């Protein structure tokens, strides 16, 4: 059984590392902010002093950090994974970052004889805890097959989309689609309320038809209540949307609705709402329409 390293023990990474431990893997962990590893250690994981040290103790190193520069730092910075991981190793990056940077990171690792799989996820902290995440994977076929037992220890649906960076590109598509659907549902809910309709009845009637969506079924009530418990944070979606818009620009893809969503989210973050659930995209629609928002 391959020895697993895990770098980045935030909400997502912490649950994932725990699930890998439960699945029977030997797990060595590291987090930038200390003190996150206690529960994992109690569960039998070992803590290392740096990403490089994690790598020295591992065959496969998983990373789950915030953004492109963070992945760059934990892989290629001083005491980074690339310093400690022997040729023949494999890196699995669960972070949501730039697809083009991902392809470049993979190429650099390949030059050292190290494999790479990008494996951004969707399903939130709930999915991470239960091990039911949807995993969008990119990388060479052989790397993907080698990574599969690890991926299966952390998620339920695993799809391989193509070379390194493909998983990130699919994650970008996901964030683009949900941006528009959130806005669509927000417009519908605000119109319902101002028209004096019972929003719950509207959602029930529309949900089974062409207008039906996961977001309509599961997030419209937050919009109606103007109360946005998590969920998925607006500031994180804005970060992801920035990645998607950058990808789109590099490809010449024109995304008017996603660009509008990014603008509205930027205002939400500035107004102090960045840590609410991203269904708070209803706030600007409410506010512009003269409701509390």
Catalytic residues: 171
Indicate the residue among 54 and 248 with the shorter CB distance to a second copy: 248
* Least distance from a second copy to the Cβ atom of residue 87, Å: 29
Indicate the residue among 27 and 92 with the shorter CB distance to a second copy: 92
The three-class DSSP label of residue 159 is strand
Site for a second copy contains 234 (CB under 8 A):
no
Q: 160 — phi, psi (to 5°)?
A: -100, 120
Closest-CA residue to 159 (of 181, 173, 139, 175)? 139
Q: For 96, which DSSP code?
A: -
The stretch near a second copy (CB under 8 A) out of 74-82, 108-116, 221-229, 237-245 is: 237-245
- Which of positions 112-141 make contact with a second copy (CB under 8 A)? 122-123, 134, 136
Residue-by-residue DSSP string for 3-25: -EEEE--SHHHHHHHHHHHHTT-
- Which of positions 86-105 make contact with a second copy (CB under 8 A)? 99
Q: Where are the beta strands (DSSP E) in 123-190?
A: 133-139, 155-162
Indicate the residue among 52 and 248 with the shorter CB distance to a second copy: 248
* Least distance from a second copy to the Cβ atom of residue 6, Å: 24
* Least distance from a second copy to the Cβ atom of residue 49, Å: 31
- Which of positions 185-204 make contact with a second copy (CB under 8 A)? 185, 187-188, 190-192, 194-198, 201-202, 204
Cα dihedral 6→25→137→173 (10° resolution): -60
Closest-CA residue to 172 (of 234, 245, 100)? 245
- Which of positions 43-62 make contact with a second copy (CB under 8 A)? none
Indicate the residue among 6 and 105 with the shorter CB distance to a second copy: 105
CA atoms of 224 and 136, how far apart (whole Å) = 32
Instruction: Spell out, one character per residue from 162 to 181, where the chain touches a second copy: x when CB under 8 A holds, - when not.
Output: x---x--xx-xxx-xxxxxx
C-alpha angle with apex 277: 268 to 30, nearest 5 degrees? 105
The stretch near a second copy (CB under 8 A) out of 66-74, 76-84, 86-94, 258-266 is: 258-266
Site for a second copy contains 229 (CB under 8 A):
no
Q: Say if strands 46-47 and 133-139 run parallel, antiparallel, or are unpaired.
A: unpaired
Site for a second copy contains 183 (CB under 8 A):
yes
Query: How many residues of this chain bind a second copy (CB under 8 A)?
Result: 79
Q: Say if strands 4-7 and 133-139 run parallel, antiparallel, or are unpaired.
A: unpaired
**Residue 11: count of CB within 10 angstroms of its CB:** 14
């Amino acid at each position: 059984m391959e020895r697993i390293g895990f770098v980045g023990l935030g909400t997502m990474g912490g649950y994932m590392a725990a699930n890998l431990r439960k699945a029977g893997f030997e797990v060595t962990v590291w987090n930038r902010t200390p003190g996150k590893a206690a529960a994992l250690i109690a569960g039998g994981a070992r803590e290392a002093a740096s990403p490089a040290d994690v790598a020295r103790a591992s065959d496969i190193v998983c990373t789950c950090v915030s953004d492109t520069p963070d992945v760059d730092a934990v892989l290629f910075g001083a005491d980074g994974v690339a310093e400690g991981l022997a040729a023949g190793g494999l890196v699995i990056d669960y972070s949501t970052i730039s697809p083009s940077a991902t392809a470049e990171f993979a190429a650099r690792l390949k030059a050292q004889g190290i494999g790479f799989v990008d494996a951004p996820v969707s399903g939130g902290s709930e999915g991470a805890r239960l091990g039911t995440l949807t995993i969008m994977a990119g990388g060479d076929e052989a790397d993907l097959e080698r990574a599969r037992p690890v991926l299966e220890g952390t998620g339920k649906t695993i799809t391989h989309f193509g070379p390194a960076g493909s998983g990130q590109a699919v994650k970008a598509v996901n964030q683009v689609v949900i941006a528009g659907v959130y806005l669509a549902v927000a417009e519908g809910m605000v119109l319902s309320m101002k028209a004096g309709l019972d929003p719950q009845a509207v959602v029930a009637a529309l949900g089974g038809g062409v207008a039906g969506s996961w977001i309509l079924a599961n997030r419209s009530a937050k919009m109606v209540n103007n109360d946005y418990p998590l969920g998925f944070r607006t500031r994180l979606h804005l970060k992801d949307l920035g990645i998607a818009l950058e990808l789109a620009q590099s490809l010449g893809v024109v995304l008017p609705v996603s660009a509008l969503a990014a603008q509205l989210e930027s205002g939400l973050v500035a107004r102090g709402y960045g840590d609410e659930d991203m269904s708070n995209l209803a706030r600007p629609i409410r506010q512009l329409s003269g409701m509390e928002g």
